[in-house]
Amino acid sequence: MPYRWIFLDADNTLLDYHRAERQALSQVLKAFGFPAGPAQATRYKSINRECWRELEAGRTTRQQMRKQRFARFFEAEGLDVDVVRFADAYQDALAGQAPLLDGARELLEALRDRFALALVTNGIASIQRPRLERSGLRTFFQAVVMSEEDGHAKPHPAFFERALRMTGRPRAGDVLMVGDNWEADILGAHRMGMATCWYNPGRASRPDEVAPTLEIHALEELLRHLD
Ligand SMILES: [Mg+2]
């Protein structure tokens, strides 16, 4: 058996985060009495993406971004809304949404007999914990590692060092990190000396020269590679 531990990312690797966001937005728009159709979903998606890019570029904080995206959305919708109240309601609704991706449960059922499993997520603990319980994912993992509000997140080495401490300090070479995010999951783990499996369902081209140990386009492919 080549690996002792498998570290898995949560959002868009096991959980369908895009669907969770759509469901949460629609639920809160309806609760506030606003239109909640495909036009709103598309508009919000593009504004949210723009706000995330600003966050990643360091031009805003996570806290500001959470309100900013709704301020811009409602301005575009021509609606006057208490953005803070809406953003809070959205976070609460999101915590209640945890749809799994196809094949996620089957993958974990097959892996848990052969490997120790850890969930390593950049999600905020107050939102991720209820989502993990609701999805039924929690029971599969010996360890759950989350980035806290002001702590280090993937791909920072300190995040992965914390993950190794929380899993009893396995050698990095005995760990396979599985995730969809090139920078956070694959480069972050690669720099630590871990093996990597890039889950790339959209068949995006590889952003740079680093080669992941494995690349899969559907979750069940991982099992074939590990046989
Ligand atoms: Mg992810």
**Active site members:** 9
Specify the pLDDT at position 150. 61
For residue 1, pLDDT beyond 60: no
For residue 227, pLDDT beyond 90: no
d(CA 174, CA 170): 6
Distances (CA, A) of 19 to 12, 29, 41, 99, 174: 10, 15, 11, 7, 33
* Mean per-residue pLDDT over the chain, rounded: 93
In the 8-state DSSP scheme, what is residue 37? S
169: left (phi over 0), alpha (psi -120 to 50) or beta: left
Q: What is the pTM of this model?
A: 0.86
CB under 5 Å of ion ligand 1: residues: 9, 11-12, 180-181
CA of 12 to the centre of ligand 1 (A): 5
Give the residue, 174 or 18, on which the prediction is more confident: 174
Report yes or no: 8 and 117 within 8 Å, Cβ to Cβ.
yes
In the 8-state DSSP scheme, what is residue 182? I
Are 5-16+100-226 and 17-95 the same fold in CATH? no
pLDDT grade for 126, boundaries at 50, 70 and 90: confident
How do residues 46-105 score in pLDDT, each as one tens digit?
999 999 888 878 888 888 998 999 999 999 999 999 999 999 999 999 989 899 999 999
Domain range 5-16+100-226, its CATH number among 2.40.50.360, 3.40.50.1000, 1.10.3720.10, 3.40.190.10: 3.40.50.1000
How do residues 58-68 score in pLDDT, each as one tens digit?
888 888 998 99
Domain range 17-95, its CATH number among 3.40.50.720, 1.10.150.240, 1.10.390.10, 1.10.10.10: 1.10.150.240
User: What's the longest Cα–Cα distance across the chain?
Assistant: 59
CA of 177 to the centre of ligand 1 (A): 12
For residue 24, pLDDT beyond 90: yes
Sheet holding 214-216, edge to edge: 143-146, 116-121, 5-8, 175-179, 195-199, 214-216
CA of 159 to the centre of ligand 1 (A): 15
Domain boundaries, the chain: 5-16+100-226, 17-95
Specify the pLDDT at position 209. 84
Distances (CA, A) of 190 to 185, 196, 224: 8, 7, 22
How do residues 27-38 score in pLDDT, each as one tens digit?
999 999 999 999
Specify the pLDDT at position 48. 93
Q: Look up residue 27 and give its two tokens.
A: 């639920």
CA of 123 to the centre of ligand 1 (A): 9
CA of 2 to the centre of ligand 1 (A): 24
Nearest to 74 by CA among 49, 42, 50, 43: 43
Q: How far apart are the first and last CA of the chain?
A: 9
